[in-house]
Chains A and B, each alone.
Chain A
């Protein structure tokens, strides 16, 4: 079956612009996670959804970052007034449930470059 998909695969923007990154999880998966991976590092947690609600957004670096999942499926990560430090790979993962032993399946990521 289809895996997690993310669009766009690459995004180049200018400092101060607004960007939206989209994640299509595996069908039927209720939990959705966003992670950010800076060059040469492991992914870091940003926000997690259980259904439509953001259950934990403690990883969002500041209020320029926001994410939604209005119908409990597709999610959009929104970044306002982008800064050069926002450049990274943004990874989305989904799992059937949010349980401790549930496998999270990752998408290929969106590579964001802020000039």
Chain B
């Protein structure tokens, strides 16, 4: 059972549309990270959020950490085909080894 629940699992949209991916947990994390994974590759870190209520922007991507540090969201504005991929959220810091606890992922397809 995943401690982090991501929604939606799949998302297919047209180029130019906006979208939001959610990551929810009943556990508190010291930090929460968002990764993007391309086929045949490992996850690549996009951003780390550490403070409750924190908002970070990376070009067209906006990441938010919930006030209670249990949930997060990723919003993409004006999606492009190059945004296609698997988006993973991962919590860190609620165990001694600081290993990552991943959500199930959101598979995004942006059609031109």
Residues in chain A within 8 A of chain B (CB atoms)? 4, 31, 33, 35, 40-45, 48, 50, 55-56, 59, 91, 93, 98-109
Closest to A48 in B: B97
Interface contact A101-B31, CB-CB below 8 Å: yes
Interface, chain B (partner A; CB < 8 A): 2, 4, 6, 30-31, 40-45, 48, 50, 88, 90, 92-93, 95-105
User: Is chain B's interface secondary structure helix, strand, loop, or mixed overall?
Assistant: loop
Complex interface: chain B residues within 8 A of A93 (CB): 42, 100
Known A42-B2, A42-B105, A108-B42; contact A100-B92, beta-carbon cutoff 8 A: yes
A4 and chain B: residue at smallest CB distance: B42
Residue picked from B50, B92, B103, most chain A C-beta under 10 Å: B92
Cα distance, A93 to B99, chains bound together (Å): 10
> Which of A31, A43, A102 sits near B43, CB closer than 8 Å?
A43
For residue A113, give the distance in angstroms from its CB to the closest CB of chain B.
14
Give the complex CA separation of A35 and B105 in angstroms. Answer: 15
Find out whether the CB atom of B31 lies under 8 angstroms from the CB atom of A48. no
